């Protein structure tokens, strides 16, 4: 099928559906200048992820994690929502899409104007930090003042606990409330659109499968093939901004 025919098919599915869930991965943000993990130039082509237990157990690992965070934040803090984010925001505004489940931690769905209650961040949020013991919130700008001076690690001023970005690392428990909200959305949609995710990180990658099992149509938009292409009703191997922009008439 030609890409223009696929976009027409996507438009028809959007018209025919009224309980849409969008599921996004790092791919939706690459056009905003934030690298993904698994592409050839992705972050993991350069370094292995730091597991949660290693972060907790080792001061040196915590230093390395904050060093990496300072570097990646140079991209994240300047990033603006792109055409793909804007198209998703338009779909939410239309009332057809009741939930955006995202694996992203960059906050760009919020910046694109989607109300926070319609977004489920299953891997947390990287624009602030939290105490692992008492959950007190800390701002990154304060942490960076001390860290950039002499690599001082942040410690909670209320309970002395370890402070970590409010993201979910490998080996860290998934956030319960967010998982429940995402499960509900996946089980109650009539169309799920999985955008820019390699669909290999579980449990997150299970949501398109739940949706499909519950009778929803599944659309996958990714420039590469994914492991779930064979269960999808429509697969668009194309660039996200252009594809969603055309399907939803967004510049
Ligand atoms: P991933 O890196 O595993 O996969 C991204 C996918 O998007 C790839 O299959 C790639 O081919 C595709 N892609 C990239 N740019 C595209 C484009 N412009 N058009 C079409 N396809 C494109 O990412 P994932 O599945 O989200 O999982 C990795 C984990 O990485 C997640 O847990 C997420 O929390 C984290 N992460 C988040 C960010 C972010 O917040 N922006 C960035 C990197 C990683």
Please tell me whether residue 56 adopts helix, strand or coil conformation: helix
pLDDT of 165 > 80? The answer is yes
Q: Which two tokens stand for residue 19?
A: 């309980």
pLDDT of 96 > 80? The answer is yes
**What is the separation of C-alpha 8 from the centre of its chain, rounded to a whole number of angstroms?**
26
The answer to whether 197 and 27 are in contact (CB under 8 A) is yes
| Burial tier of 40 (Cβ tally within 10 Å: 0-12, 13-18, 19+) | exposed
Closest CA to 245 of 80, 82, 24: 82
Predicted pLDDT of residue 38: 76
Predicted pLDDT of residue 45: 67
C-alpha of residue 158 to centroid of ligand 1, in Å: 35
Q: Whole-angstrom Cα distance, residue 250 to residue 59?
A: 47
Predicted pLDDT of residue 44: 67
User: What's this model's pTM, rounded to 2 decimal places?
Assistant: 0.94
**CB neighbour list of residue 32: distance below 8 Å, 6 or more residues apart:** 79, 80, 81, 82, 85, 106, 108
Q: Please tell me if the CB atom of residue 195 comes closer than 6 angstroms to any atom of ligand 1.
A: no
Closest CA to 22 of 145, 161, 191, 153: 191
Q: What is the mean pLDDT of residues 202-216?
A: 96
Residue 234 forms beta bridges with which residues? 219
Is residue 85 part of the annotated active site? The answer reads: no
The per-residue pLDDT for range 116-149, each reduced to its tens digit, is: 999 999 999 999 999 999 999 999 999 999 999 9
Query: Which of 123, 130, 164, 181 is labelled catalytic?
Result: 123
* Ligand 1 atom, smallest distance to 29 CA: 41
Closest CA to 26 of 85, 71, 99: 85
Q: How confident is the model at residue 67 (pLDDT cuts 50, 70, 90)?
A: very high
DSSP string, 199-240: S-STTTTHHHHHHHHTT-EEEEE-SS--TTGGG-SEEE-S-H
**CB neighbour list of residue 29: distance below 8 Å, 6 or more residues apart:** 36, 79, 82, 85, 104, 106, 108, 196
C-alpha of residue 195 to centroid of ligand 1, in Å: 9
């Amino acid at each position: 099928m030609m890409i223009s025919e696929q976009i027409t098919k996507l438009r028809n599915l959007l018209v025919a559906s009224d309980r849409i869930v969008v599921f996004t991965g790092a791919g939706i943000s690459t056009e905003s200048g934030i690298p993904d993990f698994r592409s050839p130039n992705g972050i993991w082509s350069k370094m292995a992820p730091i597991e949660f237990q290693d972060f907790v157990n080792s001061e040196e690992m915590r230093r390395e994690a904050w060093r990496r965070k300072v570097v990646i934040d140079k991209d994240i803090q300047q990033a603006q929502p792109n055409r793909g984010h804007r198209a998703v925001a338009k779909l939410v505004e239309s009332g057809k899409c009741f939930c955006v489940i995202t694996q992203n931690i960059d906050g760009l769905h919020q910046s694109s104007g989607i109300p926070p209650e319609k977004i489920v961040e299953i891997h947390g949020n990287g624009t602030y930090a939290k105490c692992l013991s008492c959950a007190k919130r800390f701002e990154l700008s304060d942490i960076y003042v001390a860290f950039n001076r002499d690599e001082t690690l942040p410690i909670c001023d209320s309970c002395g606990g370890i402070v970590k970005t409010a993201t979910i690392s490998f080996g860290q428990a998934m956030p319960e409330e967010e998982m429940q909200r995402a499960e509900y959305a996946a089980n109650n949609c009539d169309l799920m659109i999985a955008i820019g995710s390699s669909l290999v990180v579980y449990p997150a990658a299970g949501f398109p499968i739940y949706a499909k099992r519950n009778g929803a149509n599944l659309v996958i938009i990714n420039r590469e093939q994914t492991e779930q292409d064979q269960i999808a009703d429509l697969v668009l191997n194309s660039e996200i901004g252009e594809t969603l922009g055309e399907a939803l008439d967004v510049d």
